[in-house]
Structure 1
Amino acid sequence: MHTLLGLLLLPVLATAQERLARVGTGAVERAPIIEEVPLTGTLTSPRVAQVSTSVAGLVEAINVDVGDRVEAGDPLVRLDRELEQLALASARAATRRARAELADTRRRLEEARQLRARQSFPETEVRTLEAQVGMQEAEVERLAAEAQRREARLRRHVLNAPFAGVINRKLTEAGEWVEPGTAVVELIAVDNLRLDLRVPQRYFPRIDADTRLQVRLDAAPERELAARIGTVVPVNDPSARTFLLRAWLDAPDIPLTPGMSARAVLQLDTGQRGLVVPRDALLRYPDGRVSVWVVEDAGEDGTASVTEHNVETGLAFDGRIEIRSGLEPGLRVVTTGNESLQPDQRVRPVGAD
Structure 2
Amino acid sequence: MNNKSSIFKKMLYAIISLAIIAVMVIKLKSNKEITQNKVYQFNKEEAINVQADTLILTNINAEYTYSGTFEPNKETKISSEIQGKINVVLVDVGSVVSKGQSLVQLDNSLLKLQMQAIEVQIEGLEADVNRYTILTKADAIQGIQLEKVELGLKTAKVQKATLIEQINKTTIKAPFNGVVTAKLSEEGAFAAPGVPLLQITDITNLKFTVNVPENELSQFKLNQKYSVSADAYSKILLPGKTTMIGSKANIGNSFPVQFTVNNTSDLKIKSGMFGKVILKTANQEKGIVIPASAIVGTANQQQVYLIKNGKSVLHNIMISKKIQNKAVASSGLNEGDVIVTDGFINLFDGANITVK
Q: Does 1:142 find its partner at 2:155?
A: yes
Secondary structure of 1:257's match?
coil
Aligned length: 255
* Matching residue of 1:257: 270
Residues 242 and 259, structure 2, Cα contact 8 Å, conserved in 1: yes
Gaps of 5+ in 1: 1-27, 113-120, 290-311, 327-353
Q: Distance in 2 between matches of 1:278 and 1:103?
A: 97
* Matching residue of 1:84: 111
The 1:264/1:55 distance shift into structure 2, 3 A limit, reads same
Normalising by structure 1, report the TM-score: 0.60
Map Cα deviations across residues 4-45 of structure 1 (whole Å, 9 max, x no partner).
xxxxxxxxxxxxxxxxxxxxxxxx99x9x9684x42211111
Normalising by structure 2, report the TM-score: 0.60
Residues 277 and 321, structure 1, Cα contact 8 Å, conserved in 2: no
Bigger relative contact order (CA 8 A; separation at least 6): 1
Map Cα deviations across residues 209-255 of structure 1 (whole Å, 9 max, x no partner).
26564433111124444432122243443x34343322133564672
Q: Distance in 2 between matches of 1:161 and 1:253?
A: 21
Map Cα deviations across residues 178-218 of structure 1 (whole Å, 9 max, x no partner).
22222111111121112122333454455312656443311
1:132 deviates by 2.4
* Matching residue of 2:12: none
Q: Distance in 2 between matches of 1:66 and 1:169?
A: 6
* Matching residue of 1:153: 166
Residues 207 and 268, structure 1, Cα contact 8 Å, conserved in 2: no
* Matching residue of 1:8: none
Q: Distance in 2 between matches of 1:247 and 1:87?
A: 51
Q: Distance in 2 between matches of 1:156 and 1:110?
A: 43
Q: CA RMSD in A?
A: 4.0
2:222 maps to which of 209, 228, 234 = 209
Secondary structure of 2:185's match?
coil
Gaps of 5+ in 2: 1-57, 295-303, 309-317, 334-356
1:268 deviates by 6.9
Q: Does 1:173 find its partner at 2:200?
A: no
The 1:141/1:288 distance shift into structure 2, 3 A limit, reads farther
- What are the within-5 Å matches in structure 2 for residues 12-161 of structure 1? 36=64, 38-112=65-139, 128-129=142-143, 131-161=144-174
Secondary structure of 1:134's match?
helix
1:317 deviates by 7.1
Secondary structure of 2:138's match?
helix
1:150 deviates by 0.3
Please say which of residues 194-203 and 101-110 is displaced more in the overlay. 194-203
1:75 deviates by 1.2
Secondary structure of 1:49's match?
strand
Report % sequence identity: 17
The 1:141/1:205 distance shift into structure 2, 3 A limit, reads farther
Secondary structure of 2:92's match?
coil
* Matching residue of 2:211: 198
